[in-house]
Structure 1
Amino acid sequence: MLVPIALTAIVVSCLSVALTMSVALRVKKTLDPLIEEGMFQPGAAPEAPPTVPTGTPLPAVGEMLDSEGRPVTLPTAQDGPWILTFQSVTCSGCKAQLPAYRQYLQQSGLPRERVISVISGARAELGPYAAALGDLATIVHDDDAKSLADHLGVRIWPTYLVVSPDGTVGHSTESVGSLPELALSTRLDEVVS
């Protein structure tokens, strides 16, 4: 009589351990990409909202070079609103949003010169970004625009900014789906509304 009870207890214990391990591994799988992208730091208190605040002025930028080594000039006021993004070669969320970002840029019709994508990580790993966005955006390696990300306080990748003609951030988000409709004829008041 004790043998079936003991066997049942052992089976139930094994199932309990297996279930606990399964839950722990699922939680780890969910949190690892978020920790990698800087959204969570173990033991740290949550910070203020992660996006760059609206109205933040862009710093004066020295010479920047694109991924092909060509000089890059930031759009001027008469060019209207433009897009500035910060992505990383190690960011799974950045890579996951690339198709939607490409579609957004195609629909906006903005010229390549009015879309600047600053990519951090190993310069040799820019290939997927150049392949996905190179015809729609100017790709700049983070080393060639370091002061820009630091000055704006970018600490989450991806970060998508719509820059107003006055050189300030008009819209800020970490999701392509939250970007406003933007086209060649877009006026500033349409961007911030």
Structure 2
Amino acid sequence: MVTISAAVVTTIACAGIAVAIYSALQAKKALEQAADSRVSRVQPLAPGALVSYPGKVTDINGREVELPAGSGAPWVLTFLSSECPGCKRQLRGLRKYLTRHRLSPERVISVVTGEPSTLDGLKTELAEFSWLVRLEEASPIMTGIHISQWPTYVVIDAEDRVAFSSNSVARLASFSFAYS
């Protein structure tokens, strides 16, 4: 009769658990990549669409913000949610894009949504790169803009028309523009 020691049984069980965890992580990675590729094909706003200029809005800290629209130079409008896993995953890429193009925070408006208690993460990640404006305050910006998916990134040209839009920061990173 063959006896198997407890150490061998434990080793076999641990190996089985490791294989199961590895398989689950690989499946999760594949699903996230598939979801990202689906999202990246969606273009929320057609190039050339006019973005209305509402004037001033109030930022998340209660300060009045004058939008850069009408200034004759490009600007960026982002739509993010503190409750959106995709938004959180893409913050690093957004910061890299804004840094690479040396856009001043006055030229970047991030429309944010989520419970006030959950917005601290977005404030921490984006405060030095962007004005953060709560969705409720940004309703004038959204006149004629129908955002159905978060995150959304929109580059607006010097004539206040959509130059580029995407739901993927990876696709945003592929867009380069001249600005003054």
Number of the residue aligned with 1:88: 81
TM-score in terms of structure 1 length: 0.67
Taking the aligned partners of 2:98 and 2:132, their CA distance within structure 1 comes to 14
Return 5+ residue gaps in structure 2 as ranges: 1-22
| Structure with more contact order per residue of length (Cα contacts < 8 Å, sep ≥ 6) | 2
1:131 alignment partner in structure 2 = 124
The 1-side partners of 2:98 and 2:168 are apart by 14
**Cα deviation digits, residues 104-129 of structure 1 (max 9, x gap):** 11111111100110001212321111
Q: Over aligned residue pairs, what C-alpha RMSD do you find?
A: 2.7
- Residue type at the aligned position of 1:64: V
> In 1, Cα distance between the equivalents of 2:121 and 2:72?
28
The question of 1:97 aligning with 2:121 is answered no
* Residues 2-151 of structure 1 aligned to structure 2 (within 5 Å): 30=31, 49-61=42-54, 63-149=56-142, 151=144
Normalising by structure 2, report the TM-score: 0.71
TM superposition shift of 1:157: 0.6
Question: How many pairs align?
Answer: 147
Letter in 1 for 2:168: S
Residues 49, 101 of structure 1: alpha-carbon distance in 2 compared, 3 angstrom cutoff: closer
Partner of 2:159: 166
Structure 1, unmatched stretches of 5+, are 1-21, 40-47, 189-193
Is the CA contact 2:78–2:109 (under 8 Å) kept in the aligned structure 1?
A: yes
Q: 1 CA distance for matches of 2:93 and 2:42?
A: 23
Helix, strand or coil: the match of 2:163?
strand
| Deviations 1:1-45, CA, capped at 9 Å, x for gaps | xxxxxxxxxxxxxxxxxxxxx99xx79xx59xx7xxxx7xxxxxx
Going from structure 1 to structure 2, the CA distance change for 1:57 and 1:138 (only over 3 Å counts) comes to same
